Amino acid sequence: MATEAQQRPLLEARNVTVRFGGLTAVDDVSVAFRRAELVGIIGPNGAGKTTFFNAISGVQAPSAGRLLLEDEDLTGRAPHRFAAHGLARTFQTPRVFADLPVQQNIEFGLKFAGRRPRKYWLWGEEASVPWTLRDAPRILQLIGLAPQAALPAGAITPSQQRLLEIGMALATRPRMLLLDEVAAGLTEAELEDMARLIRRLRDELDLTVVWIEHAVTTLLRHVERVIVLHQGRKIADGTPREVTANPEVIEAYLGDEMVSEEAA
């Protein structure tokens, strides 16, 4: 049974709206994300998924609504303020330092977090950091990139760069991790490996993970809760079983998407 702390929202979006001129990209969306949840966000192209991610991570200030991270109002604050409160994210196109070795990319994340390795780990805030996030070699081991540690980030494969960006996000020691289409361009085997890694990160690090993905079938197998956006609105929020049985979701998106995946 979930504890009282797990039941309270870690991040709460209240009536969030994002407008670009006359276009409403996110339309009055309210969502609460609890601690240690694994949540998927799906919807057709142009549904507002990435714009919603940008809003809840501080990249895009909402036109209306509020964003509360552990009850602190961060509406309109800069991305680094969200990061300081334990929120990290990836982007559709991996953002790595191509000329730096893979390990130095991870070390940059550690420095960004302001938490460097300490000789006496029982002292200070490092004592509360999971062992797997204490330093760059451990993080590389966790994401499966230890053999590539010395290679320039630009020399590893696109799928490995996606893993590296996740590692850089983990290096900031987040409590909440937002993943934006990290499976894009992966083979079927790589996609399944990525999904298992995402679930492992949630389980082992007690992270809240929110995952946008077009690979609907895989996502539905691994997440516990699904939010569906359509034309900027939230049209469903429930378990995978509930969402796949929702007539509005099937009509707006899921029926055609499942058929196209099966055909592929």
**Tens digits of residue pLDDT in 34-84:** 999 999 999 998 899 999 999 999 999 999 999 999 889 999 999 999 998
What pTM value is reported for the model?
A: 0.88
**% of the chain residues with pLDDT over 90:** 72
Give me the residue spans of the domains in the chain: 1-86+175-263, 98-174
Write out the DSSP string of the chain: ---HHHHSEEEEEEEEEEEETTEEEEEEEEEEEETT-EEEEE--TTSSHHHHHHHHTTSS--SEEEEEETTEE-TT--HHHHHHTTEEE--SS----TTSBHHHHHHHHHHHTT----SSTTSGGGGGS-GGGSSHHHHHHHHT-GGGTTSBGGGS-HHHHHHHHHHHHHTT--SEEEEESTTTT--HHHHHHHHHHHHHHHHHHT-EEEEE-S-HHHHHHH-SEEEEEETTEEEEEE-HHHHHT-HHHIIIIIHHHHHHHHH-
Mean of the pLDDT values across residues 3-10? 70
Mean of the pLDDT values across residues 188-214? 93
For residue range 97-110, list pLDDT tens digits in order.
999 999 999 999 89
Top-level class of domain 1-86+175-263:
alpha beta
Q: Which residue has the higher pLDDT, 217 or 210?
A: 210
pLDDT number for residue 2: 53
**% of the chain residues with pLDDT over 70:** 88
Identify whether the C-beta of residue 226 lies closer than 8 Å to the C-beta of residue 40: yes
